[in-house]
Amino acid sequence: MPGFELFDHQEKQQVAEVMDQGFTFRYNFDGLRNDVWKARELEQLICQRLPVKHAHLVSSGTAALSTALAAAGIGAGDEVIVPPFTFVASVEAIVLAGAVPVFAEIDDTLTLSAAGIEAAITPRTRAVNFVHMCGTGGDMDAVKAVCDRHNLVLLEDACQATGATYKGQALGTIGQVGTFSFDSVKTISCGEGGAVLTNDERIHQNAHQYSDHGHDHIGNDRGAEDHPIMGTNYRISEMNAAVGVAQWQKLDRILEIQRANKAALKDALAQYDEVTFRRLTDPDGDNAGFLSIFLPTPARAQEVVRQLGDAGIGGVFYWYANNWHYLKNWPHIHAMHSSARLPIDLIKDRPDYSEIALPQSDELISRTVSFLIQLSWDEAEIEKRLAAFHTIFH
């Protein structure tokens, strides 16, 4: 990843088709578009590939999360379990839905553990936002069993795991609802875009209505459509969907390159005693967008990151100090600070997010270093990294 590294004439051709024959709005305007429907086309490609009954495109991965929560009936006062290691949008979507994020421990898969979820459940828990970080998931059988036992909605945030599977099943399709992100730095890039995935007809109906001001999308006269529910505007543009059509057709190629490049780095690092690897519950299903390692101590992890930087190696992430992806570094979340009063402000016994203690997660993430696996690497780029590893770890 990211998919933009493989942009070529195919993306241009798809966009040109919209410009020359179609229309940029995703709905209606049938007479102007000459049967060019890129959002529909991409949705069909996604459904066929995964497979899943319904894939509904929206304007971003964050919009997909918000839509998924609303479509699954998660709202005011509902508690949603979420990991501390995620992109901040996972938390923002919950708060803006009027729900309450409850943080739980991750394990050596770098995702929520079944035990962590179980320990965080209260009578108000309605859902688990399970985030498949860095290209793969966790112990999904155990996680789903916990959710089923407590009658919780399992929402899979697969925004960083497009193309990944668990025991042959696509991540994002194991729970009641899942999400993809197609932004500029994801495995598949539309520039901006996302998708809501579900096999549940009710959730799909809610999703396509909620993301378009409640329109029921029955008939071909937008002005005559009914509005069964309230919603908002999370529509994707046909221009973004067109880019996604070309990108989705490259998914196998993307995964093949990522897996080969990751294997080259992992094989080299495996010889060093101080390096251990993130646990993969299904190695064959990993989309290989990242390679994550554990080092013996936080100090050693920071030193390795510094040395890699000095060697000119980019795409190296020390998440424990990263202000986008780890709870410890989100003061605006600790304070629930926003430009306007939030629904969570009305909940008297809400958690104090400045006092959250997740020692297991801290211990793991403070020793974790991740490498972004790029599609554009040639043999020289890989050899440069292997030489740096030899110098640093030998």
HEC string for the chain: CCHHHHCCHHHHHHHHHHHHHCCCCCCCCHHHHCCCCHHHHHHHHHHHHCCCCEEEEECCHHHHHHHHHHHCCCCCCCEEEECCECCCHHHHHHHHCCCEEEECCECCCCCECHHHHHHHCCCCEEEEEEECHHHCCCCHHHHHHHHHHCCCEEEEECCCCCCCEECCEECCCCCCEEEEECECCCCCCCECCEEEEECCHHHHHHHHHHCECCCCCCCCCHHHCCCCCCCCECCCCHHHHHHHHHHHCCHHHHHHHHHHHHHHHHHHHCCCCCCEECCCCCHHHCCCCEEEEECCCHHHHHHHHHHHHHCCCCCEECHHHCCCCEHHHCHHHHCCCCCCCCHHHHCCCCCCHHHCCCHHHHHHHCCEEEEECCCCCCHHHHHHHHHHHHHHHC
Quote the pLDDT of residue 113: 98
Provide CB contacts within 8 A for 266, sequence distance 6+. 277, 291
The residue from 12, 38, 167, 186 that is catalytic is 186
Quote the pLDDT of residue 330: 97
Distance CA 280, CA 380 (A): 28
Catalytic (active site) residue 144: no
Mean pLDDT over 145-157 rounds to 98
> Domain coordinates of the chain in residue numbers?
3-250, 252-393
Q: Using CA atoms in the order 161, 164, 165, 166, what is the torsion angle rounded to 10 degrees?
A: -50
Q: Residue 210: which pLDDT band, with cuts at 50, 70 and 90? A: very high
What does the longest C-alpha to C-alpha distance in the chain come to?
70
Q: Which CATH architecture has domain 3-250?
A: 3-Layer(aba) Sandwich (3.40)
Pairing of strands 177-181, 194-198: antiparallel
Residue 348 has pLDDT above 90, yes or no: no
Mean pLDDT over 193-213 rounds to 98
Residue 1 has pLDDT above 90, yes or no: no
Q: What CATH number should be reported for the domain whose range is 252-393?
A: 3.90.1150.10
Distance CA 319, CA 160 (A): 15
CB 48 within 8 A of CB 283: no
- Counting every residue written for the chain, the total comes to 394
Distance CA 288, CA 260 (A): 9
Q: Residue 252: which pLDDT band, with cuts at 50, 70 and 90? A: very high
pLDDT in tens, 279-294: 999 999 999 999 999 9
The percentage of the chain sitting over the pLDDT mark of 70, rounded to a whole number, equals 100
Mean pLDDT over 149-167 rounds to 98
Distance CA 380, CA 365 (A): 30
The tokens 């979820």 sit on which residue?
117
Quote the pLDDT of residue 47: 98
Locate 381 and state its tokens: 């780029």
Distance CA 339, CA 178 (A): 29
What mean pLDDT value characterizes the chain? 97
Quote the pLDDT of residue 394: 85
Q: Inter-axis angle of helices 38-49 and 238-248, to 10 degrees?
A: 30
Pairing of strands 368-372, 169-170: unpaired
Residue 106 has pLDDT above 90, yes or no: yes
Amino acid identity of residue 164, one-letter, is A
Quote the pLDDT of residue 21: 96
pLDDT in tens, 374-386: 999 999 999 999 9
Provide CB contacts within 8 A for 176, sequence distance 6+. 72, 153, 154, 155, 198, 200, 203
Quote the pLDDT of residue 185: 94
The candidate with the shortest Cα–Cα distance to 79, out of 30, 23, 124, is 124
